[in-house]
């Protein structure tokens, strides 16, 4: 299981390597460069599944994110 994901900001394209929690979903994330607040896209469980290079641990395990 991969626990690092690169989040790409849809507003400024800045990329940040972030560790993923294994016990909770991350529903919002603020870009380190432009402060754009990313929210999970409808139909996706979290910001890692929405904007990350690797889906969250729950998705990797094919479980539904419980939040």
63 has pLDDT over 70: no
67 has pLDDT over 70: no
Tokens of 17: 């390597």
Q: pTM for the whole thing?
A: 0.87
Residues paired with 28 in a beta bridge: 39
Tokens of 25: 């979903």
Q: Give the model's pLDDT for residue 66.
A: 47
pLDDT tens-digit map of 11-58: 999 999 999 999 888 999 999 999 999 999 999 989 999 999 999 998
The CA distance from 56 to 45, in Å, is 9
The CA distance from 48 to 7, in Å, is 7
For the chain, what are the domain ranges?
1-25
């Amino acid at each position: 299981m991969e626990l690092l994901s690169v989040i790409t900001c849809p507003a400024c394209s800045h990329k940040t390597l972030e560790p993923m929690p294994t016990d909770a979903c991350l529903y919002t994330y603020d870009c380190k460069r432009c402060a754009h607040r990313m929210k999970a896209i409808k139909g996706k469980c979290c910001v890692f599944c929405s904007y990350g290079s690797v889906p969250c641990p729950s998705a990797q395990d094919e479980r539904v994110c419980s939040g």
